[in-house]
Structures are given as structure tokens and as C-alpha cells.
Amino acid sequence: MSTHDGPKHRVLLVEDEESFIDALTIGLDRDGFDVTVARDGQEAVEKFSAGAFDVVLLDLMLPKVSGLDVCRTIRQSSDVPIIVVSAKGEEVDAVVMLEMGADDYVTKPYRLRELIARIRAVLRRHDHARETPDGAMAVTEVGPVRLEADTRRCYVQGREIKVRKKEFALLEMLMSNAGRVLTREQLIDRVWGSDYVGDTKTLDVHIKRLRTLIEEKPKDPKHITTVRGVGYRFDA
Ligand code: CA
């Protein structure tokens, strides 16, 4: 299925398990990616600083330098998309990773197709963010919801609904990161400010109200999804 035109996206695959390395190298190459492998955290940092990568696939449990430290080090100099790969039961670390600046995470075992879809999604978001100057993106439209930033208007299936200022900001943040999990802390920081000292239930109250406004069945939401123990995600 190598049907890609133009330059190949370069992937830094940070992984110490040979079975994963083999499967991913073959699978990603077949899908049109140019793969470089780093087998421990130290090698990851060295190879990253020596090469120009479009995306980093980062295993958490690594020899020498942990995935967490690799993520932190890369973020000091680069906004390259980072997808963290964690083993089952490491969900707590995934939360930390998102806060450390990882763009997404997947849990082992995963399906190659799913992983490739996630890689393409972070690459699209990254390219889009780079091409869109600040303030230029006046309209955000995902699934049934359309937001107009200039006029602060919100439409659901073409019908205008009234949302308050914070609700609009929250929806905008979720929608502009559609498909990606945002932690509670990220949402509170960005919508209420990092110096916010109020009750964290405020976020849930806002989410609940937004669901009654945009979901067909607010108790069984299809768009504003709860990711247990992590935060929320907007799905188209
Ligand atoms: Ca590992």
C-alpha cells in the first residue's frame, strides 16, 4: 500500500523490543514512512538531535533513559509530534506524558492500522497548526458542530445555539484537538488559566452543559467523550 507521493515522512521509532521493531519497521515502511530505530533512551536523544524527524514514536519503558525523560528532552528544543507507546497498566504515565507534551498515546498491544491512523492524525494537526497563522482560523467545524471565532457563534447541525464564553473556549479547545485526548489539567489551564484555584468540578459542570447543547443523547455522548482517568476527547 505504498501509494504516497512527495517526500516520505521520517519516523524516529524508539523501541527496545525486537519483535515490535521488526513489525513496525516493515509495516511503516510499507505505508510510505522512512523509519529510523533507536533502541534505548540515550540513542533516541542522540538520533533525534542529529536528524530531522516528522514524528517520534516513543516507547515508555526503555533502557538507560526513560521515555519520560526522552519526551522532556525533545520538548526543550522541538514541537515535533510525539506519540507515546505504553504497556498495559501504565495509564497513569500516559496522563503524565500528555502533560509533558506528548501529542497522543497508544497502549500495547495495538493494531498497526490504528497506530498508522494516529500517526497520520498527529501529522495532519501539526502541519495544519504550522500553516495557520494565529487568529486566522475563524471557523472550526468538526462533526455536527461549527464554531465562528470572530462572532463567537456556535451552530449544531446548522442551528445556532447560545453558549457562554467559557463554554465556547472549552468547545474550541476540544474541537481544534478533535480525536486527541486532553487531560483535565490541560483543559483547565487553557480555558480558565494556570492560576485557576477553583473547584475542578467546574470543568465537569461545563462539559455536562455542553453535552445537553450538542449531543443527541447527553447521557450517552458521541462527541464529547470521557476518557476515564485522563480527561476528554472530541469525536467527529
Ligand atoms: Ca520497552
pTM (whole model) above 0.85: no
Distance 48 CA to ligand 1 centre (A): 18
Distance 16 CA to ligand 1 centre (A): 5
Q: How many residues does the chain have?
A: 236
Q: What is the pLDDT of residue 93?
A: 61
Helix, coil or strand: residue 32: coil
Helix 91-100 / helix 184-192 crossing angle, nearest 10 deg: 30
Instruction: State the fold for domain 9-130.
Output: Rossmann fold (3.40.50)
Q: What is the pLDDT of residue 2?
A: 46
Strand (E) or helix (H) holding 78? none
How many CA atoms are closer than 13 Å to the CA of 26, on its beta-carbon side? 5
* Among the listed residues 104, 93, 53, the one whose alpha carbon sits nearest the alpha carbon of residue 77: 53
Cell of 132: 495557520
User: What is the rounded distance in angstroms from the CA atom of residue 110 to the CA atom of residue 131?
Assistant: 31
CA angle 198, 95, 92 (to 5 degrees): 110
Distance 114 CA to ligand 1 centre (A): 19
Please list the pLDDT of the chain residue by residue as tens digits (236 residues): 445 556 789 999 999 999 999 999 999 999 999 999 999 999 999 999 998 899 999 998 899 998 889 998 998 888 889 998 887 666 656 677 777 778 888 888 888 998 999 899 888 877 766 555 554 557 888 999 999 887 889 999 989 999 888 899 999 999 989 998 999 988 988 888 766 666 778 899 899 999 999 999 999 999 999 999 899 999 98
Q: What is the pLDDT of residue 160?
A: 92
* Among the listed residues 81, 10, 15, 83, the one whose alpha carbon sits nearest the alpha carbon of residue 51: 10
Which CATH number does 139-234 carry?
Answer: 1.10.10.10
The residue ranges of every structural domain in the chain are 9-130, 139-234
